Chain A
Amino acid sequence: MSKVRPAPLPPDTVIGGYRIVRKVAAGGFGVVYLAQDAQGLQVAIKEYLPSSLVARPAGELLPQIAPEKLSLYRLGLKSFFEEGRSLAQISHPSVVSVMNFFRENETVYMVMNYLEGASLQDFIITARDLKQPKVFRESTIHSLFDEILRGLRIVHQHKMLHLDIKPANIFITDDNKAVLIDFGAAREVLSKEGNFVRPMYTPGFAAPEMYRRNAAMGPWTDIYAIGACIYACMQGYPPNDAPQRLEKDRIAIALARLRGIYSDNLIEVVEWCMSLDPLSRPQSVFALQKELSRPGARRYTKLTVGEKVRLQLDTMIADTKKTIHKTPDVGKQLK
């Protein structure tokens, strides 16, 4: 299926009164540009341009859609509208906001506020390369996810699920605000069009129910991903993906290694969020927030000598296996 990606619009193209500065990102659903409005304000513009369905030679404006792809193209457009519609209803500092929506070049564009900073994924990679026992400080994790959960709670209140929360989709702005981005996978809780466009998922962060068809997804599905993100902030690497865990669950062992480094409370919260059984997780963001903000001293339990020996043996076995299973990058998207 190797196919040439449709070409992005060249710099200085003017669409809907905005001037394109450059391409910032490209995904399966489209291209994101940095652009300027008439007043010189920087904005991010997302162009609907599904790479598997359209072609666009370099330098041209109009995407070309083969007639047999047209109905899938229009179906994908629905998801794009879902994203716009849901984001338009939400106004929260921790959720990326939509400023405008327009039609041009036979496709549609979503204008969002432009964020300057880096993704949580970039921060994790930088932090883990410092080779400290802690990737992030516990207080940093707390304040970061406190903001994210406030935003996510509003999202869920609008009957929306994000469904692709991962460090790459959590943006930390230069003025230290955490913002949830890329609602491309988000869709209304009740809509069922799974036959056509399967939700994309990211191994390690996708809850086990996302691998099943017609399984009940809910706030608990996003909460699994939040748990996995906190895990990545502690370990520096994403957790094993759900199918691997269903086969042999090593999360408890991996978390045991962090005992004494992070508080028992935080480790327990991660374990709770990442329960394989959806019903065993916090059922709402509120329940999780309550647990995270529980006052009281942090407990730290050091590992006993016996536990340490057992963990070490486990590492030796796991290391021999690693030659076969390559650890994926943090938040690498499986498309």
Chain B
Amino acid sequence: MKFSIFQVSRKGGRKVNEDRMGYCYTRKSGIFLLADGMGGHPQGEVAAQLALQTIAALYQKEAKPEIADVGAFLNTAVMLAHHRILHYSTEKGLPDAPRTTIVAALVQDGCVSWIHCGDSRFYLVRQGELLVRTRDHSFLEQRRSAGGSVIAAERRINRNVLFTCLGSPIKPVVDVKGPLALQMGDRLMLCSDGLWGSLNDADIVYHLTHKPVLQAVPDLVEKALRQGGKNSDNVTCIALEWETPDGFESTLGGDSAFTVSEGAFASTFQADATGAALEELNDAAIERSIAEINESIRRIAANKS
């Protein structure tokens, strides 16, 4: 199994980044996850974190090194995550349960299967064409697929209103799709609505097609944040390029391509729920850093003499 992968999550104009992402893999199978904790309910980031941890834990238990029944696994894992969130909410005596979306893609035997609940999306781009895109569980998308007048609907219906998610008292609605055979060069992407809300599909397909994922992902995220302006939603994106099982060196983004070796198990999930937002350096911070470094240099020099 060989693939290149890159993931980025950045805070928009919101107080907290409630998006969570990550992936883990064995030598024969890999799962990629993204959850977007919902605002308007308490502790969305906790719901997102719990969902990812629950699914990742189940995956680590069952991927030995493959998942026996992928469809059943995805269903079970998402339901388990839902119950884990409800359990957390009763345990803590919260008046309202925290909620989150989820999207997961599982790759094994050269095929991908995916599941989603809510409006976090899965994209599969092949040779410049959008092959797969999940349909959001939103009222807007529901209207669209029913053939209703989209333009009128877009004006009335807020795209952010979902009819299902994890953590709500109603049993979540999920869509499981696949398995779909992968071809070399296929781009798989999971993203939060912060990304697709600001960029259109053509734009997303263009970036994924024309750049290695390690450039496409940061570029897409940056673009979405800029389009979103100062009230931008948080933007999270994880994308991978499927490469041939083995045999030759990747020509794209060689530094992030890796082959999974025997018995290896890796995971990017961390136990704690801190979504350390990456703060950028501004001019004042740069000056401060330089001053600190020069102060250290002077001190050391003074000690020497």
Contacts and interface: CB of A to CB of B under 8 A. Distances in A.
B255 A78 contact: no
Interface string B1-32: 00000011100000000000000000000000
A321 interface: no
B256 to A, nearest CB: 7
A1 B253 contact: yes
Contacts of A1: 212, 215, 252-253
Contact of B293 (A77, A85, A192): A85
B90 interface: no
A205 B304 CA distance: 34
Given A247-B262, A334-B254, A98 B297 contact: yes
Contacts, number: 90
Query: Which bracket fits the contact residues of B?
Result: 35 or more
Given A71-B222, A193-B278, A85 B292 contact: yes
A89 B304 CA distance: 12
B289 A85 contact: yes
B294 A196 contact: no
A68 B261 contact: no
Nearest to A80: B289
Contacts of A88: 293-294, 296-297, 300
Interface in B261-304: 261-264, 266-268, 270, 276, 278, 280-281, 286-287, 289-290, 292-294, 296-297, 300, 303-304
Query: Which bracket fits the contact residues of A?
Result: 35 or more
A89 B266 contact: no
Contacts of A84: 289, 293
A62 interface: no
Chain B contact residues: helix, strand, loop or mixed: mixed
A84 B267 CA distance: 31
B255 A334 contact: yes
Contact of B8 (A99, A195, A247): A195
A213 B266 CA distance: 7
Contacts of B280: 71, 74-75
Interface of B: 7-9, 212, 215, 218-219, 222-223, 226, 252-256, 258-259, 261-264, 266-268, 270, 276, 278, 280-281, 286-287, 289-290, 292-294, 296-297, 300, 303-304
5 contacts: A71-B222, A77-B286, A98-B293, A98-B297, A246-B261
Given A81-B289, A88-B294, 9 more contacts: A78-B281, A98-B293, A101-B290, A103-B287, A195-B9, A200-B255, A246-B261, A247-B261, A335-B254
Interface of A: 1, 67-69, 71-72, 74-75, 77-78, 81, 84-85, 88-89, 91, 98-103, 108, 192-193, 195-196, 198, 200, 211-215, 243, 246-247, 334-335
